[in-house]
Chain A
Amino acid sequence: MALVYYGHFIESYMKAGSAIAAMHYKFIYSFHMPLFFILSGYIAKEHLAGHKFSLYFKRQVASRLVPYAFLSLILILPTFWTTDFTVGLELPTTKGYVKGIAATFLAGFPYFNIPTWFLICLFVVEMMHYAVSRYLTTYSRVVLIGLSFYLIGSILAWYAGFLRPTNILSPHGKIYPYFMVLEAFTGYSFYLVGVYLNRKKFLAGKVARHRCFLGVLVCLALVYYSYDLNKGMFTMPFYDAIVLAASSHGNVILFPLTALVGSVMILLLAKLTAKNKALLFLGSNTLIIFGLNAVFYHLINDRLALWLLSHHSGHFMVIFITGTVVAFFSILLTVPFVFLFNYIIPQLIGKPKKNGPLIPRLVT
């Protein structure tokens, strides 16, 4: 979660013209979104074949699509008084709102809350998992199916540009029901890595701290020396980095390798800090903190980065420290809202089984 906040602020530094920030961005983006898919697979339920599809569908809608809709709707509000919102959307105009709302709800492209593209993609990935899970009977099948999905995803990412939801961004971009299907293939391959690690009981039980720490250092070194080897080709010429939302992966071999090593690094780090209460709180409220990042991503980061960059040297350490501080305080600012939403409307922020004072539970 911290990486998302840091990465999105660093992106603003990059857009303001910092080459150093662009390298930080490339480093983080080399693994942080695949990690989310791996984590989702790691905690996914097994034996889905025994579940009725309608019930599974309803649960996933309630825990993924309802928060997606809610987080998009609350981010529409600020657009009434700030115009400089997002690429390709003229706000506040009727034309702009029609495009933004249609893209959000009919195309699964969250114009008003870009970071939540992941929820749509995860929903599609989970539907794929429902269809495929019955065939995941052995480890080798998990690997084989994962590789197949990765291969299909990579081919589609480059050759099926018409499926790319970022097509909507151009001034006369057309709206089709994309729903992140294009990226869901690659996303599912990482999801299956999580399923595999879970079955192998990776990091389950006790692991010596010094081994974890050593593992983190090794992974960090590997990511550091490999992330910039991926020179593309990227689908967005102005982003020399992996951007899953735009199906921009770069090199088909280097991309998954760095992504896997980086993800293992974070998993090991999580193991090391498993008893930290603050991190546990963040972990149990990931979805809402993730969704609220859009407030900073759309409204604050660009202006703040531009201002900061005009007041400091742009040195590597200054970028890193200011990025970390901004990410820390941004997360801190979301905490009251996390408590508030958890109390009033837990069903709308990914906890559909909870009863709330305003809305009853959405699923049983």
Chain B
Amino acid sequence: MKSFPLFVKSILVLLPIIVFLVSYNLRMEKQRFKPHIYTMRAGKELVAKIKGDPEITMDTAEITLYSAGRKLKLSPSYLSGRHLDWKQRDTTLMKDWIVHYSRMVPETAIGLADIKDSTTVSIFYDRRKEAQVAEILHLGRYEGIPKSLVQLRQFVERQGYKLSGYYEEVYLVFEHIEPDPDNYETLLRYQVSKL
């Protein structure tokens, strides 16, 4: 080995590393859109609870949580919309949906300053408990979400789990930061438990 020049030795060491990293990252990129199950940690959230059609309530939630974040000096965070009971999507009329829109906050966030509930929005802090969730990344328009949910539910069943709590959408890339709806990225989550 000593007779090899340094750069040959370096290539011999680096090449397998590079090959591994490239193949690993390509696999991860592919798996980004595949469903998976994991344990989501507990955490504190600022919640805006709103009743109505999400076409309308999501805008209200965005404005409410954004301005609350400014007032309470919160660092940027993703917006999510949660149905406490996953069945709500299937069994309730859209105009009657109650969605808990939320964003993560630190434990130091305790007061709401002068932020008050309105007739349509109630705002409060909540603690999300540690839970097992099944998750899929949905790429594209919101109209395509039901199709991704079918895929997610089939996966949950195949893995020997059942839906057992909330359903949640996390808006990673949405209308305010991306003009093209085909590029929206939304995480879809079901709380699950072992069968």
In the bound complex, do residue B106 and residue A240 qualify as a contact, i.e. CB atoms below 8 Å apart?
yes
In the bound complex, do residue B75 and residue A232 qualify as a contact, i.e. CB atoms below 8 Å apart?
yes
In the bound complex, do residue B24 and residue A237 qualify as a contact, i.e. CB atoms below 8 Å apart?
no
Say which one of A40-48, A170-178, A260-268 lies at the interface with B. Answer: A170-178
A 217-242 binary contact with B (CB < 8 Å = 1; else 0): 00000000000000111111111110
- Interface residues contributed by chain B, number (CB under 8 Å): 31
Q: Counting CB contacts under 8 A, is B36 at the interface?
A: yes
| A172 contact set on B, CB distance < 8 A | 28-29, 31-32, 36
Closest Cβ–Cβ distance, residue B51 to chain A (whole Å): 26
A17 contacts which of B74, B105, B127 (Cβ < 8 Å)?
B127
- Give the distance in Å from the alpha carbon of A18 to the alpha carbon of B109 in the complex: 11
In the bound complex, do residue A237 and residue B77 qualify as a contact, i.e. CB atoms below 8 Å apart?
yes
- Chain B stretch 20-56: residues in CB contact (< 8 A) with chain A: 20-21, 24-25, 28-29, 31-32, 36, 38-39, 41-44
| A238 contact set on B, CB distance < 8 A | 43-44, 77, 104-107
| B84 contact set on A, CB distance < 8 A | none
| A235 contact set on B, CB distance < 8 A | 75
| Given A237-B104, A238-B106: A174 in contact with B76 (beta carbons within 8 A) | no
In the bound complex, do residue B24 and residue A233 qualify as a contact, i.e. CB atoms below 8 Å apart?
no
In the bound complex, do residue A26 and residue B108 qualify as a contact, i.e. CB atoms below 8 Å apart?
yes
| B17 contact set on A, CB distance < 8 A | 106
Q: Counting CB contacts under 8 A, is A87 at the interface?
A: yes
Q: Counting CB contacts under 8 A, is A119 at the interface?
A: no
In the bound complex, do residue B25 and residue A175 qualify as a contact, i.e. CB atoms below 8 Å apart?
yes
Q: B27: nearest residue on chain A (CB-CB)?
A: A172
Q: Counting CB contacts under 8 A, is A245 at the interface?
A: no
In the bound complex, do residue B28 and residue A237 qualify as a contact, i.e. CB atoms below 8 Å apart?
no
- Chain B stretch 68-118: residues in CB contact (< 8 A) with chain A: 73-77, 103-110
Q: Counting CB contacts under 8 A, is B135 at the interface?
A: yes
- Give the distance in Å from the alpha carbon of A98 to the alpha carbon of B21 in the complex: 11
In the bound complex, do residue B21 and residue A106 qualify as a contact, i.e. CB atoms below 8 Å apart?
yes
| A171 contact set on B, CB distance < 8 A | 36, 38, 135
| Given A171-B135, A174-B25, A238-B44: A23 in contact with B75 (beta carbons within 8 A) | no
Given A17-B107, A232-B75, output 9 extra A-B contacts at Cβ < 8 Å.
A22-B106, A171-B135, A175-B24, A232-B74, A238-B44, A238-B104, A239-B106, A240-B107, A241-B106
A-B contact pairs, 12 of them (CB 8 A): A19-B110, A84-B39, A171-B36, A171-B135, A174-B24, A175-B25, A176-B21, A233-B76, A237-B106, A238-B104, A238-B106, A240-B106
Q: Residues on B close to A: CB < 8 A?
A: 17, 20-21, 24-25, 28-29, 31-32, 36, 38-39, 41-44, 73-77, 103-110, 127, 135
